[in-house]
Amino acid sequence: MREVFSRTFYYVNTAINCSNLLQLIAVLEKILGADILVFMEKEQIKGHLILLMAPSGSGKKKVMEGLGKVADDIYFAKTYTNRERREGVEENSRYTFISREDFEEAIDKGELIEWAVFSGNYYGTPRSELIVPLSEGRIVMKEMELQGVQQIKKLIPEENITVIYIDAGSWENLRKRILARAPMSEEHLALRKERYEEESKFKDEADVVIDNHNGKLDVAQSTFRKVVEEIINKHHD
């Protein structure tokens, strides 16, 4: 009982000190155990969200390059992460690199629509990065790992979301690609393998699977482009 009182006191006190609406809603959600923002946001979704799931090293970046001009019609949503930048090979302009403390503050303030710990680091999507363009009726693309996809699927209506999985083939195949990209410790590699096995299982739940097996990049690129074009055309109908 005492614990319930002190927790309630903590939340009420925090609610009083909230500096913005999002933070207040995040605290109220904790008190009520309900997703208030979900009700508010579902109503606003007019666009379409394409979530890209791909095990690390599966060639996602190259497959996406195949979009060509189609990419002009898409909003690429940003990621917050506290992982280290990859020396020399960091190419991901959609990442905002922040400290662990800043990430945890963003969680507490309710600024992230989803977040996950992957290979020991935080990854998450700022609410505004999805809700604003989707409420404007835009096509939004975002890469995401398994836990994030599962959270988002609960929030966005089924007809407004397509999950695309890029299949890199066997673990051996993928392992070679990962190591060719940048050196990685055995410990991290073991974590990647664990995750790869988990993400491979999720493949069955994806709406579309694009095969990007060795030597077939051009096929993967054109299949991906066609799938995305179809989504865009259907959306504009």
Minimum distance between the CB of residue 194 and ligand 5GP, rounded to whole angstroms?
13
Residue written as token pair 């109908």: 237
User: Which range binds ligand 5GP by CB under 6 A, 37-45, 63-71, 117-125, 222-230?
Assistant: 117-125
Q: Which amino acid is at 156?
A: I
Binding mask 49-88 for ligand 5GP (x = CB under 6 A): -------x----------------------x---x-----
Assess contact for 225 and 70: CB atoms under 8 A. Answer: yes
According to the binding rule CB under 6 A, does residue 122 interact with ligand 5GP?
no
Minimum distance between the CB of residue 95 and ligand 5GP, rounded to whole angstroms?
7
Assess contact for 149 and 164: CB atoms under 8 A. Answer: no
Size of the site for ligand 5GP (CB under 6 A): 15
Assess contact for 167 and 58: CB atoms under 8 A. Answer: yes
Sole binder of ligand 5GP in the list 41, 111, 145, 167 (CB under 6 A): 145
Report the distance separating Cα 189 and Cα 174, nearest Å: 11
Q: At what angle do helices 21-32 and 2-16 cross, to 10 degrees?
A: 160
User: Which range binds ligand 5GP by CB under 6 A, 17-25, 37-45, 119-127, 216-224?
Assistant: 119-127
Provide the pairing of β-strand 79-81 with 121-126.
Answer: antiparallel
50 phi/psi in degrees, rounded to 5:
-110, 115
Sole binder of ligand 5GP in the list 75, 103, 118, 196 (CB under 6 A): 118
SS3 annotation, 223-235: HHHHHHHHHHHHH
Minimum distance between the CB of residue 77 and ligand 5GP, rounded to whole angstroms?
8
| Interface positions with ligand 5GP (CB under 6 A) | 56, 79, 83, 92, 114, 116, 118, 123-125, 143-145, 147-148
